[in-house]
Structure 1
Amino acid sequence: MDRMNAKLAAVVSMDDKYGGTQDLQEHAAALADETVRLQNTHTASSRIRSEMYGVAAAFTASAMWAAVDGRRLTEAEPFLNKAVTLAGLADDRAVLYRVWGHAAIMYRHLGRPADAVAAGEAARATSITRSDPLYASLAMARLATLHADSGDSRGALRAIGLAQASIDRADQTKHRPPWMGFYDQAELDSLAAFAYLRLGRWEDAEHRAHRCLAGLRPGLERNHALTYANLALAQLGQGDVEPAVAAARTVPHGLARHGRVAVLLNDFTARLTALAPRSSETAAWLEHRRAAA
């Protein structure tokens, strides 16, 4: 158990740094299979067996998340049923919460908004949200982005408020699984920025992006890249071309080519060329983008 938990922590750390690469997806899936194989080739107490199923579910959820983050959505969906089954065998409410949270984001990218909201609500309904406000906060923050997708401004703003109220009550020092380590006030600000962008509230999105960057911990390189991309979109929405391009150029080339970050920067490129097709900043950005390809 100690060995597999250490490997799980390493997988989470790799995701924080590099995002959902194909290699990480395959590595996490292989570790899930290894954990299940250990179950069937060794004798253990019922408590250890439950913990092993929980770790296998967490590895499977990591594989699913890597596929979602990398926008390999057809590869992500098959992991969902396996992760739910393993979490059920473990009777692990924390892992089940994580699986439904990732499923909500997966369904959003698949263009299935009703399924996305249903999965988000399933995460919020998991019993762990009633005993730990940090989980409740993350569930509400993600629901805010889903409500914003559908143009439900009232629902999105209410969810952001509830997420803030919950995180204010949470004990940040409490022991939690390594995959919850990313969520803090900075990540809430990041998710709020996503929601405000989708509602076209550019100033609010910029404010939250700046707050996020001020509070983001070192090591969360992928999240830094996402937030700079969101900051660029928020500034561009206000017509501030020069600072927007400067923010976008802050994203490292490696992350700029990857998954969700690449999608945001492609959106930024399209909006920039529509807004200022002949500006020197646009020309410089397009050259920068070609160099990153």
Structure 2
Amino acid sequence: MDRMNAKLAAVVSMDNKYGGTQDLQRHAASLAEETVGLQNAHTASSRIRSELYGVAAAFTASAMWAAIDGRRLTEAEPYLNQAVTLAGLANNRHVLFRVWGHAGIMYRHLGRPADAIAAGEAARATSITRSDPAYASLAMARLATFHADMGDERSALRAIGLAQACYDRANQGTHRPPWMAFYDQAELDSLATFAYLRLRKWEDAERHAHRCLAALRPDFERNRGLTYANLALAQLGQGDIEPAVAAARNVPAAMAGNGRVSMLLNDFTTRLTTVAPRSAETTAWLDHRRAAA
């Protein structure tokens, strides 16, 4: 168990740094298979068996998340049933929360906002959200983005407020699984940025993007790329062409090809060429994108 938990922590660290690469997806899926295989190769107590199922579910959720983050959505969906089954066998509420949270994001990117909200509510309904406000905060922050996708401004803004209130109540010294370590004030501001962008509340989106960048941990390179891309979109929405292009160019080159980051930059490019097709900034940005390809 110690060995597999150490490998799980390494997988989470790789995701935080590099995002959802295909190599990480395959690695996590292979570790899930290895962990399940230990059940048949060794004799263990019911407690250890439950823990093994929980780690296998966590590895499967990591593989699922890597596919989502890399925008390989058809590859992500088959992991869902496997992860839910393993989490159920483990009777592990932490992992079940994680699986439903990832499912919501997957459905969001699949263009199924009603399913995203249902998955988000399933995550919110897990018992861990009642005992630890940090989980409740994350569930509400994700629900804010799902409601924003549906154009439900009232529900989205309410969810952002509840997410912040829950986060402020959470004990930051509480021990949580390694995959929960990513959730801090910067991540909450990042999710709020996504929600405000969908609601076309550009100034609020920019404010939260700046707050996220100010607090973002140095090793979270994928999240830095996402936030700079979102900042560029927020500034472009306000007609601030020059700072928007400057923000987009701050996306680390290593992250520009990440599935979700690349999608945002493509969206930015489309909007920029529509708003200011003949500007010098647009020409410079297009040259930058071609050079990076």
Q: What TM-score, normalized by structure 2, do the two folds share?
A: 0.99
> Which whole-Å CA distance do the structure 1 matches of 2:119 and 2:90 have between them?
20
Superposition deviation, residue 258 in structure 1: 1.5
Aligned 1:53-64 pairs, distance under 5 A: 53-64=53-64
SS of 1:155's partner is helix
Matched, 1:8 2:8: yes
SS of 1:166's partner is helix
Superposition deviation, residue 220 in structure 1: 0.6
Aligned 1:73-92 pairs, distance under 5 A: 73-92=73-92
Aligned 1:142-153 pairs, distance under 5 A: 142-153=142-153
> Which whole-Å CA distance do the structure 1 matches of 2:289 and 2:17 have between them?
21
Contact 1:193 1:208 in 2 (8 A): yes
**Per-residue CA distance 1:8-49 (angstroms, 9 max, x = gap):** 000000000110000000000000000000111001111111
Question: Structure 1 stretch 111-120 or stretch 91-100: which is displaced more?
Answer: 111-120
In structure 2, the residue matched to 1:193 is 193
**Per-residue CA distance 1:189-239 (angstroms, 9 max, x = gap):** 000010000000000000000000001112111001100000000000000
Superposition deviation, residue 277 in structure 1: 0.6
Superposition deviation, residue 137 in structure 1: 0.1
Gaps of 5+ in 1: none
Superposition deviation, residue 253 in structure 1: 1.8
In structure 2, the residue matched to 1:157 is 157
In structure 2, the residue matched to 1:278 is 278
> Which whole-Å CA distance do the structure 2 matches of 1:234 and 1:193 have between them?
9
> Which whole-Å CA distance do the structure 2 matches of 1:9 and 1:257 have between them?
24
Q: Name the aligned partner's letter for residue 79 of structure 2.
A: F
> Which whole-Å CA distance do the structure 1 matches of 2:113 and 2:280 have between them?
39
> Which whole-Å CA distance do the structure 2 matches of 1:281 and 1:56 have between them?
48
In structure 1, the residue matched to 2:289 is 289
In structure 2, the residue matched to 1:227 is 227
Matched, 1:94 2:94: yes
Contact 1:25 1:63 in 2 (8 A): yes
In structure 2, the residue matched to 1:111 is 111
Alignment root-mean-square deviation, CA: 0.5
> Which whole-Å CA distance do the structure 2 matches of 1:14 and 1:151 have between them?
34
> Which whole-Å CA distance do the structure 1 matches of 2:108 and 2:204 have between them?
23
In structure 1, the residue matched to 2:265 is 265
In structure 2, the residue matched to 1:27 is 27
- Runs of 4+ residues deviating >2 angstroms: none
In structure 2, the residue matched to 1:243 is 243
Q: Give the length in aligned residue pairs.
A: 293
Q: What TM-score, normalized by structure 1, do the two folds share?
A: 0.99
> Which whole-Å CA distance do the structure 2 matches of 1:70 and 1:261 have between them?
9
**Per-residue CA distance 1:47-81 (angstroms, 9 max, x = gap):** 11111100000000000000000010000000000
Superposition deviation, residue 254 in structure 1: 2.1
Q: Name the aligned partner's letter for residue 163 of structure 2.
A: A
Contact 1:60 1:83 in 2 (8 A): yes
Q: Name the aligned partner's letter for residue 26 of structure 2.
A: E
SS of 1:255's partner is coil
> Which whole-Å CA distance do the structure 2 matches of 1:108 and 1:118 have between them?
11
In structure 2, the residue matched to 1:203 is 203
Percent of aligned pairs with the same amino acid: 82
SS of 2:172's partner is coil
> Which whole-Å CA distance do the structure 1 matches of 2:254 and 2:218 have between them?
17
Superposition deviation, residue 268 in structure 1: 0.3
Q: Name the aligned partner's letter for residue 9 of structure 2.
A: A
Contact 1:254 1:292 in 2 (8 A): no
SS of 1:44's partner is coil
**Per-residue CA distance 1:80-131 (angstroms, 9 max, x = gap):** 0000000000000000000000000001111111111100000000000000
